[in-house]
Amino acid sequence: MSASLAGHSPAPSAPTASKWAEVPLNLIRGCLIALAELIPGVSGGTVALVTGIYERALLAGNQLIGLVKALFVDRGSLKSRAAKIDWMLLIAVGVAMVGTIFALAGMMENFVTNHTSVARALFMGMVLVSIWVPLRMVDRTDLQKKSVLAWSLFVLAAVITFFATGFSSTPKDNPSLIVVFLAAAVAVCALVLPGVSGSFFLLAVGLYAPVMGAISDRDMSVILVFLAGAATGIILFIRLLGYMMDKHRTLTLFFMAGLLLGSLRALWPWQGDNAELLAPGDDFLKLFGFFVLGAVIVAITIGFEKFVKVGRQSETILRSGQPE
């Protein structure tokens, strides 16, 4: 993971006219990230990369975690820590994400519940192509040194999740709040990792429709427990995840890619009531079409992210060659 994830990037300056002018753009960015997080198979982290706020958001998030910890262990540093946080970015993106999720959760829950086979086929295409995202983030030189262990972890993760989703992917009608809490703690980690979808994790464990339904119905007990689980996940796991990405990047990325591959079992369009896999039916061509559509959508997103990245690199090179 980059240095900014560890919190070593320069602190943001105080709000300026340009930062105020950026608020409408950040609201749009937040809407796009939330929309991605609502769709199993599309990564909010990838959209954050595409829209150019990935590094800034990670830094601000880690600084916010440090501020919360300072409440308990170092109150004297609260003011200085708070001054370093990019509040303009966090507030605008956060408000837009919350608003988008509340506005569209009901529609997504209805789609997944009432068009199950179509949803699975569409999301399966998305997730399958998304596997390429963590794999392409691997350093090839490091992979040559660790190829046996990396591929072993990939296969192990795929096999474990393939069988695990056979027991967990059946939709849960009334999941316990403890299960919702734990699922939220894991799903929120997807915000850090491009190519990994938190909503896909919820779908794989049978909690996507219940959680979306609770948000649509404004079921505050489920919503508050989910938020508490997400906050716990951010505090406990994200820095650990950052450490793993810094110290064991190749192995971590391969393991995550294996998890994605094995979890595809949950998205097989033809399943029985207990998540048993069935042979393709008469609707094969229609569902295959949605599978291809999902794959194309994510492929375009990945391609656009790469295009934007190359464009930024070219701009940086041009600027570095200009005289001061």
Residue-level pLDDT at 241? 72
Instruction: State yes or no: pLDDT of 244 exceeds 90.
Output: no
Spatial CB neighbours of 82, under 8 Å, sequence gap ≥ 6: 67
pLDDT digits (tens, 9 = 90+) for 95-107: 999 999 999 998 9
Is pLDDT of 181 > 80? Answer: yes
Of 16-25, 39-48, 220-229, 301-310, the range with the lowest mean pLDDT is 301-310
* Average pLDDT for 291-320: 71
Residue 10 has pLDDT above 50, yes or no: no
Is 308's pLDDT higher than 70?
no
Asked whether the predicted pLDDT for residue 291 surpasses 90, the reply is yes
Q: Would you call 79 exposed, middle or buried from its count of C-beta atoms within 10 A (0-12, 13-18, 19+)?
A: exposed
In tens, the pLDDT along 65-104 reads 888 888 887 777 888 888 888 888 889 999 999 999 999 9
> Is residue 13's pLDDT more than 50?
no
Q: Which of 4-18, 36-50, 201-215, 299-313 has the lowest mean pLDDT?
A: 4-18
pLDDT in tens, 189-203: 777 766 677 888 888
Q: What is the pLDDT of residue 110?
A: 87
For residue 164 the two structure tokens come to 């695990």
Give the per-residue pLDDT at 289. 96
CA distance 71 to 94: 22
In whole angstroms, give the CA distance from residue 289 to residue 181: 36
What confidence category does residue 324 fall into, taking pLDDT thresholds of 50, 70 and 90? very low
Helices (H), the chain: 3-6, 17-38, 44-50, 54-73, 78-84, 87-114, 116-130, 132-136, 140-168, 177-187, 198-204, 208-216, 220-233, 239-247, 249-263, 284-320
